[in-house]
């Protein structure tokens, strides 16, 4: 039984690190892309940046959920729960920002087109 626990812990640790790495990579990529789009004057820069940040946070949230599998003490569970709540709140705010930006872009009249 101890062997199964060790295997579960090792697999979970690797998955956590992998998801954290992917989340950080997505956030860095979104930030670099956001800088490039801002310099080029893309009107969708904020929207694209928010979508990239939301995707990165989803990976990070997945790693925190996996972290609950291997915690042993109640204090660790409370800490992980607080981190999950914070990341979920950030994700909610970013999705709200995305919806607001999309609504603003959809409500603008098309430029240069005759109706």
- What are the pLDDT digits (tens) for 73-82? 888 888 888 8
- Choose among 2, 3, 1, 16: nearest CA to 70: 16
CA-wise closest residue to 19 among 99, 72, 82, 87: 87
41, with CB counted inside 10 A (0-12, 13-18, 19+), is exposed
pLDDT (tens digit, 9 = 90+) per residue, 3-23? Answer: 998 998 899 999 999 999 999
- Per-residue pLDDT of the chain (115 residues), as tens digits, is 889 989 988 999 999 999 999 999 999 999 999 999 999 999 889 889 989 999 998 999 889 888 888 887 888 888 888 888 888 888 888 888 888 888 888 887 655 444 3
């Amino acid at each position: 039984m101890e062997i199964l626990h060790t295997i579960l812990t090792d697999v979970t640790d690797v998955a956590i690190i992998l998801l954290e790495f992917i989340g950080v990579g997505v956030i860095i990529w979104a930030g670099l892309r956001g800088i490039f789009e801002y310099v080029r004057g893309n009107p969708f820069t904020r929207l694209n940046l928010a979508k990239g940040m939301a995707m990165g946070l989803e990976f990070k949230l997945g790693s925190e959920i996996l972290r609950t599998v291997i915690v042993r003490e109640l204090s660790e569970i409370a800490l992980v729960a607080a981190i999950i709540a914070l990341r979920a709140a950030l994700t909610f705010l970013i999705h709200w920002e995305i919806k607001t930006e999309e609504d603003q872009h959809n409500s603008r009249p098309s430029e240069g087109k005759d109706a």
